[in-house]
Amino acid sequence: MTTDRSARTTETPQDQPAEVSNWDIVNHYFDIATERLELREDIAAVMRSSYREVQVQVPVSLSDGKIHVFSGFRVQHNGARGPYKGGIRFHPEVDLDEVRALAMLMTWKTAVVGIPYGGAKGGVNVNPRELEQSELQAVARSFMDKIEKVLGPTRDIPAPDVGTNAQTMAWLMDEYGKLHGHTPAIVTGKPIALEGSQGREAATGRGVVYVLEEIADELDMSFDDMTFAIQGFGNVGSWAARILHDKGAKLVAVDTVDGSIRSDAGIDPHRLDEFLFSEEGDITDFPDSESTSKAEFLATDCDVFIPAALGGMIHEHNADLLNCRVLLEGANSPTTPKADSILSDKGVYIAPDVLCNAGGVIVSYFEWVQNLQHFLWDEAEVNGRLEKIIKRGFREVAQKCEDEDIPPRIAAYELGIERVVEASRTRGYIA
Ligand code: GLU
C-alpha cells in the first residue's frame, strides 16, 4: 500500500457515480457552444475528433510473481495551437472514452487561457493504492516504453494527473532519457531536483484561488467571512484549501474516499494534510471535527464548494443537496449537464473546469519554457505570471458572459473553440 497523497485520493469519494460518461459531459457543452457559434458541421466534426488515439499493453511483473497486463492510453486531441499537452492518470477505471474526453477538455483549456499548446491526456488502468512504489515505477517505465514514439518536447508533453505525481514524472523522464538522451522538457510536474518548476505542485490549487479572487470581486464576497467545502483532498484540493485558509477563508467540510468530516469552527488544512499524509491518520479520526455521511457533506452550508476529485461527482441525484453560492471546478468535468442546470437554476455561480483548474497546465507551460532554456525562475515569478494569465482568462470569459448573457462554461468553451478554429484555418487545415 502506498502512502503518497495522489495515490491515496484517487477513487470516487462517493458511492453514487454519475450515469453519464465524461465523453457525454464534454460533448454536451461542446454541442451547445458550436451551435451558438454556428460552426459548420464538418468543422465541428474535425474539432470534436481526436488526432490520434493510442492504446497499448502495459505488462508488469508484480510482487505476487505474476505478470499483470494493464491497458495504457494516450489521446492527442488537437495540436493546431501547439504541442499536445495533458496529464497521465493512474486509476483502475481509466478507459479510452474517459481519456478521449479529458484530452478534448485540455484543448479548450489551453486555448481559453491562451498558452501555446494543444490538448492530450493519458492513463493506465492501474490502482496506485494497491501497488508498491517499485511496482508503480515499473508501470510508469513500461508505459513510457510503449508510447515514447508519439511523444517529444515539441510533440506531446505529459504531466501529473489523478494518481500520479512528481515522482511518476521523474520515472517517465528517466525512461525517455534512456532512449533519447536527457530531455527534461519531455514531461512537466517533475521534482524540483530534476528541473521541475517552483510553484508547480501547488499551481492548480493556487489557480483555483486566483479565479475565486475575481469571482469574489464580482459577487462582492470577502475571504474573511467566507466558508468553503472541499470534495477530494489530493493535490488540487489540499493546496486550494491551504492557500484559501491562509487568505482567511474557513474550511468547514472535507470529503475523501475514506470518509467525510465537518467542523463549524473550521478545519485547519495544513494540520489535516500532515495528519493524513505524514501521520497516516484516518480522516474520520481527525481531531475537533465530526464524521459525516456523503449526503451530509454535500449539503454543507458554505459559500464555496470545490469539487476536486473525479469527473461526474455532482450529478442529477445529488446536485440539489448542494448549499453553496459558488461552485469552483478544481476537478475535470465534475458536473454533469443535468447537475449544471439544477445548480444554475438555484443561482449558483459555476466556475468551469477549463478555466478554474488551468493553473496546473499554465505552470507546466512555465516549467517547459524554463527547461527549454535551462533557466530557473523563482516562485514569486511563477506565481505572479500564473496570476496574470489565469485572471486574464477569467476576465475574457466574464466579458463574453456579460456581452452575450451566457454562463461562464459556455463562454469558456466558445472562446477555446474559436481560438482552435482560427489556428486551424490559418494553418490551412480547414477552409
Ligand atoms: N492534469 C492537469 C490538468 O488536467 C495538468 C496538465 C498539464 O500540466 O499538462 O490540467
- Write out pLDDT tens, residues 118-141: 999 999 999 999 999 999 999 999
The answer, yes or no, to whether any atom of ligand 1 lies below 6 A from the CB of 334, is no
Higher pLDDT, 20 or 32: 32
Residues 121 and 233 reside in one and the same domain: no
* pTM confidence score: 0.96
Domain membership of residue 340 as a residue range:
203-356
CB 60 within 8 A of CB 68: yes
The answer, yes or no, to whether any atom of ligand 1 lies below 6 A from the CB of 159, is yes
The amino acid occupying position 175 is: E
Provide the phi-psi class of 333: left if phi over 0, else alpha when psi is between -120 and 50, else beta.
Answer: left
Residues 120 and 265 reside in one and the same domain: no
- The domain that holds 100 is classified in CATH as 3.40.50.10860
Residues 246 and 162 reside in one and the same domain: no
pLDDT of residue 16: 55
Q: From ligand 1's centre to the CA of 359, what distance in Å?
A: 8
Domain annotation covers residue 421: no
Q: From ligand 1's centre to the CA of 189, what distance in Å?
A: 9
Q: What is the dihedral of CA 123, 126, 131, 135, to 10 degrees?
A: -60
Domain annotation covers residue 18: no
Q: Which of 161, 186, 356, 367 to mutate to test the pocket of ligand 1 (most atoms within 8 A of CB)?
A: 161
Q: From ligand 1's centre to the CA of 186, what distance in Å?
A: 14
Domain annotation covers residue 114: yes
Domain annotation covers residue 414: no
pLDDT band at 25 (very low <50, low <70, confident <90, very high): very high
Domain boundary among 299, 322, 356: 356
363 Cα nearest atom in ligand 1: 8
Q: Which of 94, 364, 367 to mutate to test the pocket of ligand 1 (most atoms within 8 A of CB)?
A: 364
pLDDT band at 93 (very low <50, low <70, confident <90, very high): very high
- The domain that holds 209 is classified in CATH as 3.40.50.720
Q: Is the pLDDT at 18 greater than 70, yes or no?
A: no
Q: What is the mean pLDDT of residues 214-236?
A: 97
pLDDT of residue 19: 76
In the residue annotation, 121 being an active-site residue is answered as yes
The answer, yes or no, to whether any atom of ligand 1 lies below 6 A from the CB of 332, is yes
Q: From ligand 1's centre to the CA of 296, what distance in Å?
A: 31
Convert the pLDDT of each residue in 63-88 to its tens digit. 999 999 999 999 999 999 999 999 99
Q: What total number of domains does the chain contain?
A: 2
pLDDT of residue 6: 41
Domain boundary among 356, 380, 407: 356
Residues 114 and 207 reside in one and the same domain: no
Cα 158 from Cα 139, distance rounded (Å): 15
Domain annotation covers residue 222: yes
Among residues 25, 10, 102, 23, the alpha carbon closest in space to that of 315 is found at 25
Residues 182 and 249 reside in one and the same domain: no
Convert the pLDDT of each residue in 320-371 to its tens digit. 999 999 999 999 999 999 999 999 999 999 999 999 999 999 999 999 999 9
Residues 242 and 297 reside in one and the same domain: yes
pLDDT of residue 143: 98
Query: Which residue is it, cell 470534436?
Result: 48
Domain annotation covers residue 275: yes
The answer, yes or no, to whether any atom of ligand 1 lies below 6 A from the CB of 333, is no
Domain annotation covers residue 44: no
Residues 304 and 182 reside in one and the same domain: no
Domain boundary among 339, 356, 373: 356
CB 230 within 8 A of CB 251: yes
Among residues 244, 248, 243, 254, the alpha carbon closest in space to that of 276 is found at 254
Higher pLDDT, 227 or 16: 227
Residues 145 and 251 reside in one and the same domain: no
Q: Is the pLDDT at 94 greater than 80, yes or no?
A: yes
Residues 209 and 77 reside in one and the same domain: no
Q: Is the pLDDT at 1 greater than 70, yes or no?
A: no
In the three-class reduction of DSSP (H, G, I as helix; E, B as strand; rest coil), residue 405 is classed as coil
Residues 278 and 331 reside in one and the same domain: yes
Residues 167 and 242 reside in one and the same domain: no
Q: Annotate 51-65 with b (16+ C-beta within 10 A) or e (fewer).
A: beebebebebeeeee
Residues 159 and 208 reside in one and the same domain: no
86 Cα nearest atom in ligand 1: 9
Q: Which of 66, 85, 109, 121 is catalytic?
A: 121
Domain annotation covers residue 162: yes
Cα 337 from Cα 159, distance rounded (Å): 28
In the three-class reduction of DSSP (H, G, I as helix; E, B as strand; rest coil), residue 349 is classed as strand
Q: Is the pLDDT at 299 greater than 60, yes or no?
A: yes
Task: For the chain, give the mean pLDDT.
Answer: 95
pLDDT of residue 11: 34
Q: Strands of 119-124's sheet, edge to edge?
A: 52-61, 67-78, 119-124, 84-90, 156-160
Q: Where are the alpha helices (DSSP H) in 80-202?
A: 96-112, 133-147, 166-180
Q: From ligand 1's centre to the CA of 426, what distance in Å?
A: 26
